[in-house]
Amino acid sequence: METTKNQNLPLVIAAFISIYIIWGSTYMFNKVLVAELPPFLLAGIRFVTAAVIIFVIAAVRGKLGSVSKKQLINSAFAGFLFLTVGNGCAVWALQFIDSSLEALLISAQPLILIIMLYFLEKKPIYLKSMFGVALGILGLYLLISQSEINAGPNKWLGIGAVFIALICWGYGSIFVSKADFPKNSFIKSGYQMLFGGGMMLILSFILGEPREGVLTMSNNAIYSMIYLITFGSIVAFTSFNYLLLTVSPEKVATSTYINPIVAMILGWWILDEVITNQAILAALVLLTGVYFINTSRSRAVKVKSSA
């Protein structure tokens, strides 16, 4: 048994690096892309392409298997919550707010989830979690009360869109903890991406998003799209599902603290985003609150991310 653990250790370490660094970097790459492509179109292309690649790989390996009608319906609903609305709103918001600000707001997902569990399923919030919730609310207040945000055009539209994404991800996390899905996590991810991305493309058409930009993308945008498809959608998501089966959920949840830090550094370094002292203080307070929530025994479902 010990030998097996030692053999798996390099893969576990690689998977952690993947969810730490790759998911933290997706905010910057989405920010680059949304400057050239409309949000729902770019996200739809990303996830549908990733799904096709997943199914091709699964078919070559003979791992497609059979899927029931109920599993397909559940996959479509989860894809709608996590990707069509959740990720779609998050990408849409990047038109109005910095990637570092969005990453910090999204790090409050465990806070939103534990509140939703309290109201939807009457799950009690214990003392440790209450302290985390209080710190999380304080951190969010410090984050969105910055004068730089209040002065910016349409910043509140972006912040509102992120909170819609958080609510959808929270409800999606509750839903998938009980619903029936394909047993293979790789295939499970593929169906969610296929349905969620497909609905994004339909929504893009309904909204009349321009499609001409796809043919005139800059090299930076093309590289960003390739990165998001291969690493952000396939590698990181597969790593996440692998870690859930290999290590404790509390260890997997540590990505909640690392992702926004990576996003803040890349936003400042690559995109010249301004990081104020108040934003740093807000990050410390908010992430401390998330730590208390994540380590509380009252958590009943695993938190999922769809950056």
Dist. CA 109–CA 164, nearest whole Å: 11
3: in domain: no
Could you tell me where the DSSP H helices lie in 35-154?
Answer: 39-60, 69-79, 88-93, 99-106, 109-121, 127-144, 147-151
6: in domain: no
Nearest to 99 by CA among 260, 297, 299: 260
7: in domain: no
Token pair for 245: 């089966």
Q: Domain range holding 68?
A: 12-294
pTM over 0.85, yes/no: yes
pLDDT tens per residue, the chain (307 residues)?
444 455 588 888 999 999 999 999 999 999 999 999 999 999 999 999 999 999 999 999 998 888 999 999 999 999 999 999 999 999 999 999 999 999 999 999 889 988 998 999 888 888 888 999 999 999 999 998 887 676 667 899 999 999 999 999 999 988 988 899 888 888 988 999 999 999 999 999 999 999 999 989 999 999 999 999 999 999 987 788 788 778 876 687 788 889 999 999 999 999 999 899 999 999 999 999 998 888 874 444 444 455 5
Nearest to 256 by CA among 128, 136, 106: 106
77: in domain: yes
300: in domain: no
Instruction: With beta carbons less than 8 A apart as the criterion, state whether 224 and 45 touch.
Output: no
